[in-house]
């Protein structure tokens, strides 16, 4: 039992400040592959009607030219966020012709690396840097892994919380250093308890066999064209997907902001023999940005990241050093085939309350041994999370996963009540109850529901995903009373982004070698 957490939560309640957790800012980045009507990755260019992927801040691309990324602004309510995300989908579908947005995280039919076009951002220096970085990712890890999509949840606590939280923590410092240290408390606790997100929301237990062939991997056969792990929750978040073995030697501390920046900077500055053999600039053509462990900060994959909005041309670590942590980015969410926009209210409410729990719990520094054990817990839940009697490691001891999960949910109850406030519907408590039911009945987990549907329809993974993608497309195109004013706003932003990109490409620019050296310095 975390007595410190109980005291802290009680202190917040007794401070007569029931609304201190209200008004946190949240946003979503949702990735989706554009695919052809027969379920292959689209080879067409990013639709011009969606604007420039380089300069449109709400509709862009991730690794591939076909991997669309929809980015919401930040809002103080989940309803506003989801409405905006829905409007984005409506706008996109008006300009995609017969193409579809793939409804799951794991990719569709993959015909090897060559079938995945790398995103193009034009001839400007910043555009070239973004494309070369992606070329390097493809060389290092293969393009197929980069075609996996996900949902990122960005969240910052309301500013009004910090003064009260400093009093609870008996800290005289209420400035940015205190805020950053608190966010790192959260990061460590998310590392400890974040496996629960994979169990509750993971929805990638199966994969198209073409993905495995392209990756040189194997899994048990589920059925026609489909492989699986029988009790998996999120193959995307396992060592088969983003938890790539190639980065196993890159350890980044989350014990403090200074250690985090130190370790990331060291990885970006440390040559890697295998990457040196690939070459950086070969016959006048860049194959990667450099031959170091990480080309840039974004290459390091983590379940959750500390973030600050960077200025133009500013690297993430320098932004953090300049202004401290502004928000966190949760990256462990699969795209949900059960939700047309890939995410839903219950999930967002749970994450908000869970992040508050991670902030408030006691958070000792992480050492290498605990770091390794936590990584093992995440992989175990990703690949075996629905296995009866599954055991995880906590503080060097074995613990039943279900018992641990229910303990976490019990601790979240008081936080959910704070977030509910005077709302008679008690939405956060209701969302918590939905998650509790998944521990009482594993069949309610999204991963189990997906398996059940595949068995009932006798569809392969790709067939189910393709059918669902078509259903989602029809949903958005038929949605009654679209917000025409907002759709017109998106069209205006797209047109403006094309003008901005054109101006950037026409502007005088320094030699790219010098630009890259200055950026990496």
Span 313-322, pLDDT tens digits: 899 999 999 9
| pLDDT tens per residue across span 350-391 | 999 999 999 999 999 999 999 999 999 999 999 999 999 999
Structurally, how many domains does the chain consist of? 1
Classify the phi-psi angles of 330: left when phi > 0, otherwise alpha if psi is within -120 to 50, otherwise beta: beta
| pLDDT tens per residue across span 176-187 | 999 999 999 999
Q: Please list the alpha-helical segments (H only) found in 94-208.
A: 125-141, 143-146, 159-168, 176-193, 195-201
| pLDDT tens per residue across span 252-273 | 999 999 999 999 999 999 999 9
pLDDT of 78 reads 98
| Residue 245 scores a pLDDT above 60 | no
Which of 105, 162, 106 shows the shortest CA–CA distance to 359? 162
Half-sphere exposure of 404 (CA within 13 A, CB side): 22
pLDDT of 244 reads 53
The token pair at 439 is 């521990």
| Residue 246 scores a pLDDT above 60 | no
Mean pLDDT over residues 117-134, rounded? 98
| pLDDT tens per residue across span 1-19 | 678 899 999 988 887 666 8
| pLDDT tens per residue across span 383-408 | 999 999 999 999 999 999 999 999 99
Residues 308, 324 contacting (CB under 8 angstroms): yes
CB atoms within 10 A of CB 509: 15
Which of 211, 237, 52, 38 shows the shortest CA–CA distance to 116? 211
Residue 25: strand, helix, or coil:
strand
The token pair at 509 is 């620019």
Mean pLDDT over residues 301-316, rounded? 94
Residues 27, 71 contacting (CB under 8 angstroms): yes
Residue 359: C-alpha distances to residues 116, 270, 421 (Å): 39, 33, 19
Whole-angstrom distance, CA of residue 414 vs CA of residue 84: 30
Q: Please list the alpha-helical segments (H only) found in 33-142.
A: 78-93, 125-141
Whole-angstrom distance, CA of residue 192 vs CA of residue 393: 10
CATH code at position 21: 3.30.590.20
* Range of lowest pLDDT (155-164, 207-216, 457-466, 484-493): 207-216
407: CB partners within 8 A, 6+ apart: none
Domain residue limits at 499: 3-520
The token pair at 310 is 């960077």
| pLDDT tens per residue across span 436-485 | 999 999 999 999 999 999 999 999 999 999 999 999 999 999 998 889 99
297: CB partners within 8 A, 6+ apart: 264, 268, 315, 316, 317
Binned at pLDDT 50, 70 and 90, residue 247 comes out as: low
Mean pLDDT over residues 95-113, rounded? 95
Averaged pLDDT score across all residues of the chain? 95
| Residue 91 scores a pLDDT above 80 | yes
């Amino acid at each position: 039992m975390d007595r410190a957490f109980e005291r802290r939560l009680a202190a917040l309640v007794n401070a007569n400040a029931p609304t201190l957790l209200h008004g946190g800012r949240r946003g979503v980045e949702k990735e989706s592959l554009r695919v052809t009507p027969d379920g292959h990755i689209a080879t067409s260019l990013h639709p011009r009607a969606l604007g420039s992927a380089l300069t449109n801040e709400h509709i862009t691309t991730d690794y591939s030219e076909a991997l669309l990324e929809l980015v919401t602004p930040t809002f103080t309510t989940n309803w506003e966020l989801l409405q905006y995300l829905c409007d984005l989908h409506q706008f996109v579908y008006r300009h995609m012709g017969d193409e579809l947005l793939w409804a799951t995280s794991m990719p569709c039919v993959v015909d090897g690396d060559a079938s995945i076009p790398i995103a193009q951002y034009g001839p400007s220096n910043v555009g070239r840097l973004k494309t070369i970085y992606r070329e390097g990712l493809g060389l290092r890890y293969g393009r197929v892994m980069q075609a996996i999509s996900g949902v990122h949840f960005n969240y910052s606590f309301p500013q009004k919380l910090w003064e009260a939280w400093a009093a609870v923590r008996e800290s005289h410092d209420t400035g940015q250093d205190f805020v950053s240290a608190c966010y790192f408390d959260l990061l460590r606790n998310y590392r400890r308890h974040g496996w629960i997100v994979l169990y509750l929301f993971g929805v990638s237990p199966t994969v198209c066999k073409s993905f495995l062939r392209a990756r040189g991997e194997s899994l048990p056969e589920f059925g026609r064209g489909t492989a699986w792990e029988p009790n998996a929750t999120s193959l995307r978040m396992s060592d088969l997907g983003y938890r790539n073995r190639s980065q196993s030697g890159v350890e980044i501390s989350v014990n403090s902001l200074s250690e985090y920046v130190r370790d990331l900077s060291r990885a970006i500055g440390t040559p890697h023999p295998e990457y040196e053999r690939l070459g950086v600039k070969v016959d006048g053509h860049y194959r990667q940005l450099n031959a170091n462990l990480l080309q840039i900060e974004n290459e390091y994959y983590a379940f959750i990241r500390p973030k600050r909005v960077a200025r133009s041309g500013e690297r993430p670590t320098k932004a953090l050093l300049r202004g401290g942590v502004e928000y966190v980015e949760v990256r462990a969410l699969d795209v949900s085939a059960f939700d047309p926009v890939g995410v839903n209210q219950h999930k967002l409410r749970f994450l908000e309350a869970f992040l508050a729990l991670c902030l408030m719990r006691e958070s000792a520094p992480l050492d290498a041994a605990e770091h390794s054990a936590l990584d093992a817990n995440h992989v175990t839940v990703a690949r075996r999370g629905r296995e009866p009697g599954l055991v995880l490691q906590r503080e060097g001891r074995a613990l039943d996963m279900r018992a641990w999960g229910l303990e976490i949910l019990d601790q979240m109850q008081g936080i959910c009540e704070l977030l509910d406030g005077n709302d008679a519907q008690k939405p956060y408590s209701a969302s918590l109850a939905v998650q509790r039911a998944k521990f009482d009945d594993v069949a309610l987990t999204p991963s189990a529901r997906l398996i059940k549907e595949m068995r009932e329809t006798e569809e392969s993974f790709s067939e189910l995903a393709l059918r669902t993608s078509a259903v989602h497309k029809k949903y958005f195109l038929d949605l009654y009373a679209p917000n025409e004013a907002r759709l017109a706003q998106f069209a205006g932003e797209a047109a403006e982004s094309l003008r901005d990109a054109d101006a950037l490409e026409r502007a005088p620019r320094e030699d790219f070698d010098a630009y890259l050296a200055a950026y990496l310095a």
